[in-house]
Structures are given as C-alpha cells and as structure tokens.
C-alpha cells in the first residue's frame, strides 16, 4: 500500500492591505473546486488565550513590550503546530494567511535584531511555498479601513516591506513574488498556476522545519 500523500503548506505574506485575505480565500476555493482537500488558516489565530491577548494588543486596547508581544506571536504559532502537522500528514493542503516571516518582519521594523526575531520560530514546520504579495505601501493606503490596527502606519509598513524583501532574497528557493497592485483576477490566476506547480512536487517530500 502506498503511504498517504501529504498536503502542501502554502503561506501568504506581505505588508498590510495587499489582498492576502482575499487571495487566500480565492486559492482555497480554487483548490476545493478542483477536488483538492484544503483548509484555510491564519495567524495570529485569535481565538486561543494567547490569541486574545494579541488581538487586544493589535486593536490598541493593551500595550506590551516589543519583546513580549513578539514572543507571544511565536507562541501562538507553536500552540497550533501539532494540528498543522496532523492536517498535512492526513493529506490536507493548508493555505495560511501570515506566518513566522510576518512575526519577524514586524518586530525587526521596530528596531530589534533580525536573528533574535527569527530565533523563537526555529523548529516550526517550514512552508512548501511562500506567496509574497508585493506592493508599495503608498499604493495601499486608499484600501478600506487602512489605519484601524496598530501597525497600519505608512512609514512602519515601508520598514516591514524591506524585511519581506530580505526574506524573499534569502529564501528564493521557495518564496514566489507576485505583483499585488494588479487586478484581483490576474493575481488569482497567477497564484493558482504557481500553486498547481507546488502541488505536483510537494506530496512526495517529507515535512521540513525552519532553521
């Protein structure tokens, strides 16, 4: 009997308002339409006790030291690792809106050390592909509700974008950049094509961890 083919782990990253929520949903719907078992997840996952503290922080209802909130974001990912592993090994493809890279990018943008920011996430399941939706922050401020959450400030988003660019360069073997300023349909078509390529390659490979 052949071993069960595992699902792919596809993460979407990018600065705020690049359309990640829309494109993760569209890719999920495309997968289901094509008969692929899939699930949509996102970080921070705000329903847990840790997630509720993060939500309070992001909505400006609570202040925490930068180091503390960074570690809480990482802990929020760690508390869901077992379920993510189980889903993948059971053959479910996971589409994830934000992951460890956002955790690092947003804290590095505050002035903390890049390596320190990455350290707590080492050992997490490594994505099979990261879809980086890239756009100039200046182009995004007209999108609905911009500025409602703590990090939606133009100068800050520029700093975040630089860290994502660094990740994209360093991790070019599995990071895929998309122009998020194009129309929704064009972007979705390009993402679906790349996802199809990823799905053909991934299920025979073992899960890796971030290092």
Q: What is the pTM of this model?
A: 0.91
Q: Could you identify the residue written with the tokens 């189980």?
A: 86
What pLDDT score does 149 carry? 59
**Residue 91: per-residue pLDDT:** 94
pLDDT at 153: 81
- What SS3 class is residue 109? coil
- pLDDT for 85: 97
- CATH number of domain containing 96: 3.40.50.300
- 4 domain residue, yes or no: no
**pLDDT band with cut points at 50, 70 and 90 for residue 140:** low
d(CA 58, CA 15): 15
Statement: residue 34 has pLDDT above 80: yes
The predicted model gives 139-167 an average pLDDT of 76
Percent of the chain with pLDDT over 90: 81
pLDDT of residue 205: 78
**Average pLDDT score over residue span 80-109:** 97
Using alpha carbons, select from 51, 76, 53 the residue that is nearest to residue 63. 53
Domain extent, residue 64, equals: 9-201
In a domain, 211, yes or no: no
- Whether residue 163 lies inside any domain: the answer is yes
Give tens-digit pLDDT for 4-31.
Answer: 589 999 999 999 888 999 999 999 999 9
Q: Residue 211 and residue 206: Cα distance in Å, rounded?
A: 15
Residues 6+ apart with CB under 8 A from 62: 53, 56
Task: Calculate the average pLDDT of the chain.
Answer: 91
Average pLDDT on 39-58 reads 95
Residue 210 falls inside a structural domain = no
pLDDT at site 155: 87
181 lies in a domain? yes
Q: Quick one: which of 114, 95, 102, 128 has its CA closest to 27?
A: 95
Is 129's pLDDT higher than 90? yes
61 within some domain: yes
Q: What is the pLDDT of residue 28?
A: 98
Provide the domain count of the chain: 1
Residue 169: inside a domain: yes
207, part of any domain: no
Could you report the per-residue pLDDT of 164-185, keeping only the tens digit for each? Answer: 999 999 999 999 999 999 999 9
């Amino acid at each position: 009997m052949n071993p069960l083919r595992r699902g792919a782990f596809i993460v979407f990253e990018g600065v705020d308002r690049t359309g990640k929520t829309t494109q993760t949903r569209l890719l999920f719907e495309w997968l289901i339409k094509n008969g692929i078992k899939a699930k949509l997840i996102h970080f921070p996952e705000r329903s847990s006790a840790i997630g509720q503290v993060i939500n309070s922080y992001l909505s400006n209802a609570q202040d925490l030291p930068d180091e503390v909130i960074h570690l809480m974001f990482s802990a929020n990912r760690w508390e869901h690792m077992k379920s993510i592993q189980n889903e993948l090994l059971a053959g479910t493809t996971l589409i994830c809106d934000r992951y460890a890279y956002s955790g690092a990018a947003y804290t590095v943008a505050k002035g903390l050390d890049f390596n320190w920011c990455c350290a707590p996430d080492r050992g997490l399941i490594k994505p099979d592909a990261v879809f980086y939706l890239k756009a100039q922050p200046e182009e995004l401020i007209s999108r609905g509700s911009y500025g409602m959450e703590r990090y939606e400030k133009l100068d800050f988003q520029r700093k975040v974008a630089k860290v994502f660019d660094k990740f994209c360069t360093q991790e070019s073997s599995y990071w895929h950049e998309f122009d998020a300023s194009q129309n929704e349909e064009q972007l979705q078509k390009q993402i679906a094509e790349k996802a199809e390529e990823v799905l053909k390659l991934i299920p025979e490979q073992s899960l890796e961890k971030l290092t």
